[in-house]
Amino acid sequence: MVQLETRTAVVPERNAASLSPLRLHPQLYEISTLPWLLRLGREAGRLLRLSDVPISKWEKLRELGFDLVYLMGMWKRSPLGRALSRSQTSLFARYDESLPGWSLNDVLGSPFSIQAYEPDPMIGTWDDVHKVQQRLHELGMRLILDVIPNHTGPDHHWISEHPEYYIRGTLANYRAAPGNYFIAENASGGAEVIAYGRDPYFAPWTDTAQLNYFNPELRAAMIGQIRRIAEVCDGARCDMAMLMLNDNFHQTWEPLLGSTPVPREEFWQEATRALPNFLWIAEAYSDSEWALQQLGFNFTYDKRFYDRVRDGFVRDLYLHLKAEWDFQARCVRFLENHDEARAAAVFGKSRLPAVAVLAATIPGMHFFNDGQFESFSKQIVVQLARAQEESADNGVQKLYEKILKLADAPEFHGPGWKLLEVRDASDRTGSDLIAYLWPGDGKKKLVVVNLGNGTAMGRIHFADDFFSGATVRFDDLLNQQTYER
């Protein structure tokens, strides 16, 4: 990471005492809430709830430059889902990998199998959540929580009170494909055949019940639920948001929808219109990102970025980064999250500096995960209370802290980003390099990252008037070296 300076600029201090408009290209920190609280409790020697978290934990995130804190897994887990998580042997291999020697008491159930949209009693109360939001606001940060729109847990009260909110089948459907449905009771004691939630490209999630987004009453009920959530947070990460798109939903569930007409509007149009000042973040795949942005999402996952960085497809990454600015600035860039393997396990120490700089300084939201800075390699499986204990890597931690401090500079949070073409030098390794420029008030930030497996060199052409005839000083901010040209 290089800073090009032609005159001294004064960087204004950000006022952390008030909540100013969210800056461009914000930094987000994800915390798996219940495992995190249990870990803090083990360190403190007592059981901790959300209200017991020391203010220093939030202050540290602010010091690192974070704008958003995403507390994943806030809502009440389904007891029936927990029982399924403890008994499904197909999950045991993942548990073994994450937590060798795990016990049944370590399996708390998936936070995406929700019995009720109320804080899990192991985490705290509505008042506790609101107090955390206030504390974050005092520090200049915002709170992000989950919305799991595609499904509920199999014991959610809507199952009995409003079975019409769900995709329902018949006994014949159940007999033909029992792995796709479960039998429930409605409030009158009658039997209901309910479809498991699913992504059409994968097996059903058997700890969930599929909601019917072609039912306008369900849409209204879900928007009402999101309104309640929005009373204690500033935005939501919407799980598997592309599954609710009309075309996707119709393609997945057409055999069970019968003559139900396709709604005239998309659900997300209705939802984002109802809460225009809410921050909407979509987990999105399968080329749905742009469509979801047009429906009101402020940010959408960029899995393509992650895949190309992980696999070392530098040319494909370069072409991906040539997309329009309006799209780039609303992408969520990450090296890990609760679904993906740990960055330490995927990239190793040799690749980490380059990919960490890239993920922290390109346009869009920069998404980091609890445990990433410590270089933890064991992913916390979402059904588990913890992963295997690991020691933090102080060297990696210091590297991330340095990168985050540099990435907090105002130049990285404005408009005008420019992707640069790198041409091969004598050894033809320029294709391993990604380079881009951020403008500033008299300062420019030039970022060059080597995504190859060895030393690389290349040539970058600047316009003739780029430096205005001045002597240019290149300050290598990461390695603390200076070059004058």
Mean pLDDT of 250-276: 97
In a domain, residue 41? The reply is: yes
Is the same domain home to 176 and 224? no
The pLDDT of residue 471 is above 80: no
Mean pLDDT of 103-109: 98
The pLDDT of residue 474 is above 50: yes
C-alpha to C-alpha distance for 60 and 44, rounded to whole angstroms: 18
Per-residue exposure over 455-468, b if at least 16 CB sit within 10 Å of its own CB, e if not: ebebeeeeeeeeee
Residue 56 buriedness (CB in 10 A; 0-12 / 13-18 / 19+):
exposed
pLDDT tens figures, 419-456: 999 998 888 899 999 999 999 876 789 999 999 999 99
Mean pLDDT of 55-60: 98
Is the same domain home to 176 and 64? no
In a domain, residue 440? The reply is: no
Mean pLDDT of 191-209: 98
The pLDDT of residue 254 is above 50: yes
Q: What is the pTM of this model?
A: 0.94
The pLDDT of residue 18 is above 80: no
In a domain, residue 337? The reply is: yes
Last residue of a domain, one of 415, 435, 465: 415
Is the same domain home to 274 and 249? yes
Is the same domain home to 110 and 188? no
Is the same domain home to 262 and 394? yes
Mean pLDDT of 36-65: 96
pLDDT of 479 = 85
Is the same domain home to 212 and 197? no
In a domain, residue 168? The reply is: yes
Is the same domain home to 381 and 251? yes
Is the same domain home to 319 and 226? yes
Last residue of a domain, one of 397, 415, 433: 415
Mean pLDDT of 199-222: 98
Is the same domain home to 398 and 375? yes
The pLDDT of residue 485 is above 90: no
C-alpha to C-alpha distance for 200 and 203, rounded to whole angstroms: 8
Split into its structural domains, the chain has a count of 2
Mean pLDDT of 370-391: 97
pLDDT of 35 = 97
Residue span of the structural domain in which 400 resides? 24-157+204-415
Is the same domain home to 276 and 358? yes
Which single residue is written with the structure tokens 């959610």? 156
In a domain, residue 389? The reply is: yes
Extract the tokens encoding 215: 């039912």
What band does 464 get if pLDDT is binned at 50, 70 and 90?
A: low
Range list of H helices, 22-78: 33-44, 55-63
In a domain, residue 473? The reply is: no
What band does 64 get if pLDDT is binned at 50, 70 and 90?
A: very high
Is the same domain home to 129 and 78? yes
Is the same domain home to 233 and 84? yes
In a domain, residue 349? The reply is: yes
Residue 210's alpha-carbon distances to 203, 207, 213, 383, in angstroms, are 13, 10, 9, 19
Mean pLDDT of 293-305: 99
